[in-house]
């Protein structure tokens, strides 16, 4: 159910408020382009600056707009276990297909604390969980042995791994088995991730280039590595350009260049500088998404 190109959706704003019509339009654009799944209100969705009401309203709009055509994995994680449970409960009530639960950030729990955090969420809500390991943001790196222990919980069905460490895929397969869903959270290494046993990516770049990212994932899943490599070469400069400033600023800028949405972000994020914007424009040209100026 969870595989292929799964977009970590940006959250569009208009004059400081969530642009609900734009959320629905972005959802439709993604599905029309062949995207295999959607993640509203993850890191790329600026979840840290959304109120609980805004957060869940965005999830609700995406679920309603998707209308069962692709799975919706709601961002539900928190470094407060009780809040994560509340988020997971609401996501289930709205109709999300799973919750993306990030490792608790800032608190720096040990392995036992990590396990108990995920177990508490698992035991409180009957909704599938995808564990999200992104040590570059959380400081905590969920080691493979701890992932395996957490994966022993019935409704923990997979992981979004943003470590960029290809050895993790094989370690998870060895410790958990190949039925555990492994999704890359790092676009530049998604090719190698799938080659070693991954089945998809929760992607930032697919906000900008949904069709190319879907085609890339389809090629890897079909074992067509020649096509996958060619698409990866087209996308690689874009993968990097989208992180030349704080994400999702460059992503929103790229989408504005393509006429999809505006560039508005919420503080403490700011819009990218011109050097970042220039890198994004060059990458769009390289990918064939924008004509050379």
Closest by CA to 116, choosing from 127, 128, 104, 134, is 104
Q: pLDDT value at position 292?
A: 79
φ/ψ of 106, rounded to 5, equals: 75, -45
Task: Report the distance separating Cα 8 and Cα 40, nearest Å.
Answer: 6
Task: Report the distance separating Cα 280 and Cα 262, nearest Å.
Answer: 15
Q: Which of 92, 105, 106, 160 is catalytic?
A: 160
Whether 132 sits among the annotated catalytic residues: the reply is yes
Q: Is the pTM of this model over 0.75?
A: yes
Question: Where exactly are the structural domains of the chain?
Answer: 4-222
From residue 105, alpha-carbon distances to 137, 198, 271 in Å are 7, 25, 25
Q: pLDDT value at position 204?
A: 98
The torsion region of residue 198 among left (phi > 0), alpha (psi -120 to 50) and beta comes to: beta
Closest by CA to 15, choosing from 225, 292, 262, 199, is 262
In the chain, which residues have pLDDT < 70?
293
CATH pick for 4-222 out of 3.50.50.60, 3.20.20.70, 3.40.50.2300, 3.10.129.10: 3.20.20.70
Contacts of 265 (CB under 8 A, 6+ apart): 13, 46, 248, 249, 252, 271
Closest by CA to 241, choosing from 287, 201, 277, is 277
Task: Report the distance separating Cα 128 and Cα 221, nearest Å.
Answer: 23
SS3 category, 193: helix
Give tens-digit pLDDT for 55-104.
999 999 999 999 999 999 999 999 999 999 999 999 999 999 999 999 99
Q: pLDDT value at position 293?
A: 60
- 284: DSSP letter: H
Peptide bond into 248 cis (omega under 30): yes
First to last CA, the chain: 41
Q: Which of 14, 108, 119, 132 is catalytic?
A: 132
């Amino acid at each position: 159910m969870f595989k292929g190109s799964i977009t970590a959706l940006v959250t569009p704003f208009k004059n400081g408020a969530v642009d609900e019509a734009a959320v629905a339009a972005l959802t439709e654009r993604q599905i029309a382009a062949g995207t295999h799944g959607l993640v509203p209100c993850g890191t790329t969705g600026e979840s840290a600056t959304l109120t609980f009401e805004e957060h869940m309203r965005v999830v609700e709009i995406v679920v309603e707009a998707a209308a069962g055509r692709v799975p919706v994995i709601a961002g539900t994680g928190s470094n407060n276990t009780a809040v994560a449970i509340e988020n997971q409960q609401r996501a289930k009530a709205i109709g999300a297909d799973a919750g993306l639960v990030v490792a608790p950030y800032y608190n720096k729990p040990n392995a036992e604390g990590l396990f108990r955090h995920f177990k508490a969420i698992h035991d409180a809500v009957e909704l599938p969980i995808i564990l999200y390991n992104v040590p570059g943001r959380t400081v905590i790196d969920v080691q493979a042995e701890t992932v395996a222990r957490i994966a022993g919980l019935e409704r923990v069905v997979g992981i979004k791994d943003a470590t960029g460490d290809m050895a993790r895929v094989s370690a998870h397969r060895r410790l958990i088995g190949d039925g555990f869903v492994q999704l890359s959270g790092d676009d530049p290494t998604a090719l190698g991730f799938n080659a070693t046993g991954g089945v998809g990516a929760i992607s930032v770049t697919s906000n900008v280039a949904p069709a190319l990212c879907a085609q890339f994932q389809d090629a890897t899943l079909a074992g067509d590595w020649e096509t996958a490599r060619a698409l990866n070469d087209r996308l690689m400069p874009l993968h990097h350009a989208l992180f030349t400033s704080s994400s999702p600023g460059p992503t929103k800028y790229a989408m504005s260049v393509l006429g999809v949405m505006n560039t508005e972000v919420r503080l403490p994020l700011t819009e990218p500088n011109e050097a970042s914007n220039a890198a994004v424009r060059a990458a769009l040209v390289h990918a064939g998404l924008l004509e050379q100026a």
